[in-house]
Amino acid sequence: SGQADALQMGVALLVDTVLATASVPEEKLPQGVSQARAQAVELTFEVLRRRHLDVASVECCLEVVRIFQAALEGSSLQRQIREGLLGGLLQRVADAHASQDSVQRRVLWAQGVLLGPGAVVTLMERLNGSLPCWIAGVKTLGQLYDDLEDLDTEAREARVAALKAVVGAMQAWPKEVHLLTHSCFAMSAMAAHGLDNDRGPYSEQHLQHGLRVAWQMTVVPAEECDQQGSRSGRGKARYLRQELLRLEVESVKAAKEPLRQNLQSEALRAGNAAAQCKALMRDARAGELEAKELSEHLHLALVALGVFGQAEHTVQVLRERGEWWQPVVQAAAGAAVELSRLGMQGELQSAGMAQAARAVHESWQQSGKRVDAATEEALAALQFAEGWVAG
């Protein structure tokens, strides 16, 4: 066992060493480094071939996929890793550990990185019935679509199948809050790429279907978690609502009229954003939220309300900032900037953004309190937001 531990440590060191230069073009590397990288990767594959029955060794060796992610697109390093794993080695590992969820999760991730979302969907279908593997598949789909700036043909064509897989997972395990949370994130990452026109099959119907399933599957579990009376339950509800908010925002942004207006109305009726704002302030008063976490969650909730047509909530929060002065101002300022970028300066101006911001500055000056780094950051963010809103 000591020998196995030493071998795994050696592989981890090889992977980390290659990672340090993976993004550097070969022509800019010192002489011999490119060959040394290739040898290190090949040595990792040799360990995987010899010890493919050992779970710990497999998990350690599959970290080589991180090198693929860091390497330049089309580089010899990427080709070596893709060919080394897809030449039968990755399938050999998967077959040897058909009932080992931790290995199958790694294989799912590797397949997704190397082959794209379609391969993840196919493997999820093969592993139907394994909750840990389906959670891993949903997470992988979310990461893949979130990482892609522009969809290539494979990712675009796989989006409908990926949506179907995520929806199927939610319906198969409706009580698994962790799965529901990651499912909302995965669908929001898909929606963020917009609708397909003549280039692919992802339509308004798919956008609408994913969001409505999310409302159906997540609103009640979020309320149930929130009412458990435990800090853990409230935390689960907070993160589930956050990812549902992200999905609502991306879906409304992607939709065209008249669907956009319909989704805005439905989102307001669902009440997720308002419930999140109320719960955030409650949890902050209870000492369950750090300032940074409060600011990040509140920012998204205010952006959501603005996207749904109620930008005045951002101004209202500034006016009623209360004891959580710095994170609330930071959240409102960030939301004002994001809503302005979406063309909502007029709504913020009409709601009195300039007056509310001025009141914040005057209130702080009159308080006579010392200006620390956090306060300076909040005031600077507010000033930046004022500039955006003023146009």
Q: Is the pLDDT at 267 greater than 90, yes or no? A: yes
What per-residue confidence (pLDDT) applies to 1? 64
Question: How does the average pLDDT of the chain come out, rounded?
Answer: 91
For the CA atoms of the chain, what is the radius of gyration?
A: 24
The confidence band for 198, taking pLDDT boundaries of 50, 70 and 90, is low
Q: Is the pLDDT at 44 greater than 70, yes or no? A: yes
**Segment (H or E) for 244:** helix 231-254
The confidence band for 212, taking pLDDT boundaries of 50, 70 and 90, is very high
Q: Is the pLDDT at 259 greater than 90, yes or no? A: yes
Mean pLDDT of 370-387: 86
374: Cβ–Cβ under 8 A, 6 or more apart, which residues?
A: 291, 326
Q: How far, in Å, CA of 89 to CA of 9, rounded? A: 21
Q: Is the pLDDT at 92 greater than 80, yes or no? A: yes
Residue 72 is given by DSSP the state P
Q: How far, in Å, CA of 77 to CA of 375, rounded? A: 47
What per-residue confidence (pLDDT) applies to 286? 86
What per-residue confidence (pLDDT) applies to 193? 95
Return the closest-CA partner of residue 94 out of 142, 50, 62, 60.
62
Whether pTM > 0.85 for this model: the answer is yes
Return phi, psi of residue 139, to 5°.
-60, -45
| 8 Å CB contact between 45 and 84 | yes
Instruction: Work out the percent of the chain whose per-residue pLDDT is above 90.
Output: 73
Higher pLDDT, 22 or 324: 22
CA of residue 288 relative to chain centroid, distance: 22
- Distant-in-sequence contacts of 202-208, Cβ < 8 A, 24+ apart: 202/156, 202/159, 202/160, 202/163, 204/255, 204/256, 204/259, 206/159, 206/160, 206/163, 207/251, 207/254, 207/255, 207/259, 208/251, 208/255, 208/259, 208/263
| 8 Å CB contact between 379 and 372 | no
User: Comparing 17-31, 48-62, 93-107, which segment has the lowest mean pLDDT?
Assistant: 93-107
Q: How far, in Å, CA of 58 to CA of 44, rounded? A: 10
Q: How far, in Å, CA of 276 to CA of 305, rounded? A: 11
What per-residue confidence (pLDDT) applies to 285? 86
Q: Is the pLDDT at 20 greater than 80, yes or no? A: yes
84: Cβ–Cβ under 8 A, 6 or more apart, which residues?
A: 41, 42, 45
CA of residue 323 relative to chain centroid, distance: 30
CB atoms within 10 A of CB 253: 14
Q: How far, in Å, CA of 140 to CA of 145, rounded? A: 9
Q: Is the pLDDT at 367 greater than 80, yes or no? A: no
What per-residue confidence (pLDDT) applies to 169? 95
**Segment (H or E) for 391:** none
The confidence band for 214, taking pLDDT boundaries of 50, 70 and 90, is very high
Mean pLDDT of 237-265: 96
44: Cβ–Cβ under 8 A, 6 or more apart, which residues?
A: 11, 14, 15, 61, 64
| pLDDT tens sequence across 150-159 | 898 889 999 9
96: Cβ–Cβ under 8 A, 6 or more apart, which residues?
A: 52, 53
| pLDDT tens sequence across 97-129 | 888 888 888 898 999 999 999 999 998 888 777
Mean pLDDT of 299-315: 96
Mean pLDDT of 300-320: 94
The confidence band for 69, taking pLDDT boundaries of 50, 70 and 90, is very high
| 8 Å CB contact between 291 and 329 | no
Mean pLDDT of 171-181: 96
Q: How far, in Å, CA of 304 to CA of 310, rounded? A: 9
Higher pLDDT, 175 or 133: 175
- Residue showing tokens 């589930």: 240
What per-residue confidence (pLDDT) applies to 293? 93
What per-residue confidence (pLDDT) applies to 199? 57
Counting DSSP H helices and E strands in the chain, the numbers are: 21, 0
CB atoms within 10 A of CB 334: 22
Residue 151's identity, in one-letter code, is L
Mean pLDDT of 211-225: 95
Q: How far, in Å, CA of 108 to CA of 139, rounded? A: 10
What per-residue confidence (pLDDT) applies to 3? 74
CB atoms within 10 A of CB 117: 28
Q: Is the pLDDT at 232 greater than 90, yes or no? A: yes
